[in-house]
Amino acid sequence: MKRFCRTVLNGGVAFLFLLSTCIPVSAGPTTLTPYVSIREEADDNILYTEDNEKSDMITILSGGILAQRKTERLDARVDVKLRKLFYKEYDQLDTTDKYLTLGADYK
């Protein structure tokens, strides 16, 4: 429990700092937009099993950066995101997910 609280507090402080600096930056047709979020949810079946259901509170910290380039003919996007899940009681299930999304439209 102490490790959970310390990790969430440290991560929360870092995310609040980042949140205060989440201002999009533009240079011509290119824009960089950082984003962060923190949320908590209750799950009554964290292992998705029919038998031996286990419930827990999950704190989810996520953040990333979206890079966009828009011109007359091109709209390109790169989105990089990290998501950290903290389980209150079953901390052996804590995990970090990484995402990369690419997209483009050309006219």
CA distance readout (Å), 35 to 8, 20, 64: 18, 10, 5
Task: Tell me if the pTM is above 0.75.
Answer: no
Local structure of 15: helix, strand or coil: helix
Q: Where are the alpha helices (DSSP H) in 23-84?
A: none
| Confidence (pLDDT) at 85 | 95
| Confidence (pLDDT) at 95 | 95
The tokens 């984003």 sit on which residue?
Answer: 35
pLDDT in tens, the chain (107 residues): 445 444 545 555 565 565 556 677 777 889 999 999 999 999 999 999 998 899 999 999 999 999 999 999 999 999 999 999 999 999 999 999 999 999 999 99
> What's the token pair of residue 26?
């533009």
